Structure 1
Amino acid sequence: MAEDLAPLADVLLVHREPAHIAMAAVRAGVRDIISADAEPQELRAALDRAADRVFAARAGAGLVPPPAPHEPAAVGRVVTVTSPKGGVGKTTIATNVAVGLAQRFPQRVVLIDADVHFGDVASALNLEAKHSLPDIARGPAARDSIAVKSYFTQHVSGLFVVPGSDSPADADAVTPDDLAQLIAMLREQFAFVIVDTAPGLTEHTLASLDNTDHLVLVTSLDVPGVRGLRKEIDPLDNLSMVVGRRTIVVNFNERSRGMTVADVEATIRAGVDFVLPQSNAVPLSTNQGIPLLQGARRDPVSRELRVLVDAVAPSASEPVTGRLSRRKR
């Protein structure tokens, strides 16, 4: 009788003293024993093992029908925003692009702060987060695509946010593989996954680039930033790491800086796609934690950011890959 029921059930015993009853329980047909004081994730793992055994047994007995043919699930676009050095407005651009997309695609955009040690996305959005990247990428939510949304912090725009860690020590637990798995899971649930990275090509940034459909590279008009951008573009091109779109943004454009957009293009040997002017509205927005695109501002930076959002979310008739036409300045 037990053999007849084997494909249909699996026996899991929860007991306060599992060591004392182990042999008797095994003889009685128990397949797994767990302490009643076990952590929730340990109990969940035991239940998962039991479910796997039942499914395997049912499949072996011919009780599991073959899967019905279906169309591949649609996946969202991953947009990674990076820069060769800090202080160029990368997070400002990432948060504004994410908010702009969330306004157009309510409940379908998520922003990940992948600057695992020093990310300040939550501050830029004036958010108080209960859960951060280590909780989400390493905790039970990392294995539960249904429950993971409950760990996010939601912005007033409808944007879902995975904030960076409050503690650099806690952030050490998040590996590049953890980040890659989180991105892969979220792109199956959201139309857009925006990833704000740490400056430079860190291992976590490279993990994000492996899953990227649209790369946004940001620099300012200064020699270290522009030379760093050249050093960042070269290996990406040589390794063909990003096969989708690439957009180059020059931020804080102002004549008094002693450089021009033409100087940038000559140095990086590539065209600049967007130029954002220097504006007092940007530090004010950052200090208030209110992204420029959260309101209906009409300043030059907001106008350019909205066009950048257009570029990230092209119409259905526009091809997914290929460089954007250069915007003349």
Structure 2
Amino acid sequence: MKLNYYILSEKNMYSTAVQSMLYELKIRSKTFNTYSELKVELTNSKGNIVVLGPNSIQNPYDICQEVTRLFPQTAVILLLQREDIDYKKAMFSGAVDVLDIESDEQEVIDSIKKAEKVVSLKLEGDLSAKNDNTAKIITVCSTKGGVGKTTISVNTAVALNKHHLKVVVIDLDLQFGDVALLFDQQPSRTIYDWVKGSYEHGDKSIEDFVLKHKSGIDIFAAPPLPEFAELITGEHISYLLEELKKKYDIIIVDTPPAFVETSLIALEHSDVILLIASLDLPALKNGKLAIDTLNLLGLKDNIRVILNRDAETEGMTKDLTEDVLGMNVHATIPSDYKTVISSINKGEPFVEISSRSAVAKAVLNIGNQLIHHFSENENDPPTTRKKKKKGMFFFAKRK
């Protein structure tokens, strides 16, 4: 796989020096003056090598630690002033190497080669994991509309993505799906386009029909018109899920407030079913019917009841919910209309923009519990120096 090379330093002479050196090695690279710009680039790429030079606005060790945490397929080389080098900090920040800014050119080249090996091994490991077909499918369902099912699907996806997992969300509310809307996206291609353009008249490939969001979440969007829903069958969904399992760690399926063929196929393929309940009698009645139906299908053991908008009122409590449903409530999400509606209107998941709110912490906790559940139930727990050249500082000034 092609690797990407990025250089970050506030001082252009250092960025230019490293870029010129890479160019002599026939390696093209991009330079950045601010970490925020680099972060955007890393979000949309895989297999990255970052040379991080002196930076006075933000501690380079902090930048390195964040890059290696958020982008595990990235290797960072620290290129710092001698007095700023701290090998212990470099180790804890996850750097592949740390060099004096006046190091010999060959030393920098050797470090880059070391970083290339590290990234290549990471990519090979990810490919091997994908070939093991260990992706987990989480289907979010409810037999009553308006209980927050899509909001939970979207924010759970972001919560799981924070664990460095590759996540895709499939919008199976084929008539009135809003997953793309909650990500502030207007898809040009949807699941309908995949069925008509690739599955029925092509090679069945899915790559060109996946909507990629800046957060790192991929989306298989619902059709633009309700009448297109009837053209999508359980056969299509079964094939789609099996193909996506080869490419992702987590597949989240958002379903309509009804048990139709396509959603039943998703439920049957699921490792976990999140059944969304709320503190009102119609929702509880329908929730009980959903559990009984899933029990008949042999899927009851996969159900996790999530009580959304948990704000107990007279006569309506968590205990009553458990009595009516005949199941324990796995997790609760507090009522926070202001945070949630603001998130929806902005098209930005509240787990991302309001991560300290109680509602975001509840969803993040659900993500943590899912990771723990999958981990517990996994079958198989988841240079010789050449002749020295001039120092880098001299190299930076040469023409």
The TM-score, its normalising length taken from structure 2, stands at: 0.59
1:259 CA drift (Å):
0.7
Equivalent position of 2:181 in the other structure? 123
**Structure 1, residues 81-136: CA drift from partner, whole Å, max 9, x if none?**
00110000000000001112223235x21100001111111111111211111112
Which residue of 2 is the match for residue 270 of structure 1? 327
Tell me the CA shift for residue 289 of structure 1. 1.1
Superposed, 1:289-328 pairs within 5 Å as 289-295=347-353, 297-314=355-372, 317-320=375-378
Note if 1:102 corresponds to 2:161: yes
2:236 to 178, 183, 190: 178
Instruction: Pick from 216, 220, 239 the counterpart of residue 278 of structure 2.
Output: 220
Change (3 A) 1:157 1:216: same
Matching residue's letter, 2:281: V
Q: Which residue does 1:190 correspond to in 2?
A: 248
| Helix, strand or coil at the partner of 1:210 | helix
SS in 1 for 2:282: helix
1:311, distance to aligned residue in structure 2 (A): 1.9
User: What residue in structure 2 maps to residue 76 of structure 1?
Assistant: 135
Deviation of residue 72 (structure 1)? Answer: 7.3
Query: Which residue identity is paired with 1:99?
Result: V
* Cα distance between partner residues in 2 of 1:154 and 1:219: 30
Code of the residue aligned with 2:145 in structure 1: it is G
Per-residue deviation, residues 25-57 of structure 1 (Å, max 9, x unmatched): xxxxxxxxxxxxxxxxxxxxxxxxxxxxxxxxx
The separation in 1 between residues aligned to 2:295 and 2:152, in whole angstroms, is 23
Equivalents in 2 of 1:278, 1:257: separation in Å?
16
Give the partner amino acid of 1:89.
G
Among residues 185, 203, 218, which one is paired with 2:261 in the alignment?
203
* Aligned-pair identity (%): 29
Is the CA contact (8 Å cut-off) linking 1:132 and 1:162 kept in structure 2? yes
Q: What CA distance in whole angstroms lies between the structure 2 residues aligned with 1:216 and 1:152?
A: 24
Aligned counterpart for 1:286 among listed residues 317, 328, 344: 344
1:294 deviates by 1.9
Structure 1 pair 135–254 and aligned structure 2 pair: CA distance change class (3 A) = same
Q: In the alignment, what sits opposite 1:255?
A: 312
Contact between 1:77 and 1:212, CA under 8 Å: does it hold in 2? yes
Cα drift, residue 257 of structure 1 = 6.5
Using the alignment, how far apart are the partners of 1:190 and 1:90 within structure 2? 22
Contact 2:131 2:246 in 1 (8 A): no
Deviation string for 1:238-267 (max 9, x for gaps)? Answer: 220365x32111111113374101111010
8 Å contact from structure 1 (residues 77, 192) kept in 2? yes
Structure 2 residue aligned with 1:234, among 266, 269, 292?
292
Alignment deviations for residues 187-238 of structure 1 (CA, whole Å, 9 cap, x no partner): 1211111100001222211011111111100011110000100000012112
The one of 217, 220, 225 equivalent to 1:167 is 225
Give, in whole Å, the separation in 2 of the partners of 1:139 and 1:176.
17
1:13 aligns with: none
Deviation at 1:167, TM superposition (A): 0.4
Unmatched runs of 5 consecutive residues or more in structure 2:
1-129, 380-399
Residue 152 of structure 1 aligns with an amino acid whose one-letter code is V
Q: TM-score, normalised by structure 1?
A: 0.70
Name the one with the larger helix percent.
2
Report if aligned partners of 2:191, 2:209 keep a CA contact under 8 Å in 1: no
CA distance in 1, matches of 2:375, 2:277: 30
The answer to whether the 8 A contact 2:138-2:273 is kept is yes
Give the C-alpha shift of residue 320 in structure 1.
Answer: 4.9
- Paired residues of 2:291 and 2:300 also in contact (CA < 8 A): no
1:36 paired residue number: none
Amino acid at match of 2:330: D
In structure 2, C-alpha distance between the alignment counterparts of 1:90 and 1:182, rounded to whole Å:
22
CA 217–97 in structure 1, closer or farther in 2 if over 3 Å, else same: same
Structure 1 stretch 130-139 or stretch 260-269: which is displaced more?
Answer: 130-139
